[in-house]
Amino acid sequence: MTSQQKRQWAMSMYIHENRTQEEIADVVGVSRQTIIRWAKADKWHEHKASLTMTREGQIQALQQQIVEINNNILQREEGKRFASPKEADTISKLTNAINKLETDAGIHDVVSVGQRFIAWLRPIDLDQTKRFTQLFDSFINSLM
């Protein structure tokens, strides 16, 4: 296995299996310092955070932004409770983002299915699991 393959496998374990850096180092066969260096350089924590935020959480955050804009509008003097062009544009963009999130399969959904498949495949064929995990990680990275 090449160093790059080990690096990708290590990142996959960090993101998908919640293993510690020490566990990953032992499994991959490198030092813990190497894992720390890879994690920092490849921003493992950021990848994991982006994959674990649910679509529902993102929708809720966008909806809350719309509520805040509407609350600001409602606090205005009667007869002046209209959205400014900037506010109307922002509401429109937020609404479109919500609609897109509600209809598209999010990365979280894709990762969830991939994790379930990996868990199913692991006891059947570990070598194929490693190969699939590498390909799957590349696929996820292409979506970001």
- Asked if 83 contacts 125 with a C-beta cutoff of 8 angstroms, the reply is no
Same domain, 111 and 135: yes
In the structure, what pLDDT confidence band is assigned to residue 17 with cuts at 50, 70 and 90?
A: confident
- Per-residue pLDDT band for 59 (boundaries 50, 70, 90) equals confident
pTM for the predicted model, two decimal places: 0.43
Are 76 and 113 contained in the same domain?
no
Into how many domains does the chain fold?
A: 2
Query: How far is residue 130's CA from residue 141's CA, in Å, rounded to a whole number?
Result: 17
Is 99 in the same domain as 58? Answer: yes
Q: State the pLDDT at residue 2.
A: 87
pLDDT tens, position by position, 75-133 = 999 999 999 999 999 999 999 999 888 776 666 778 888 889 999 999 999 999 999 99
43 and 79 part of one domain: no
62 and 22 belong to one structural domain: no
Tokens encoding 120: 């199913």
Residues 61 and 93 in one domain: yes
pLDDT band at 61 (very low <50, low <70, confident <90, very high): confident
- The answer on pLDDT for 64 being more than 90 is yes
Residue of 85 and 53 predicted with greater confidence: 85
Range of the domain at 73: 54-103
**pLDDT value at position 16?**
81
pLDDT at 69 over 90: yes
Q: Are residues 67 and 81 in the same domain?
A: yes
- According to the model, what pLDDT value does residue 105 have? 65
Burial class of residue 42 in the structure, from the number of CB atoms within 10 Å of its CB (0-12 exposed, 13-18 middle, 19+ buried): middle
**In this structure, is the dihedral angle defined by the CA atoms of residues 103, 106, 110 and 113, taken in order, positive or negative?**
negative
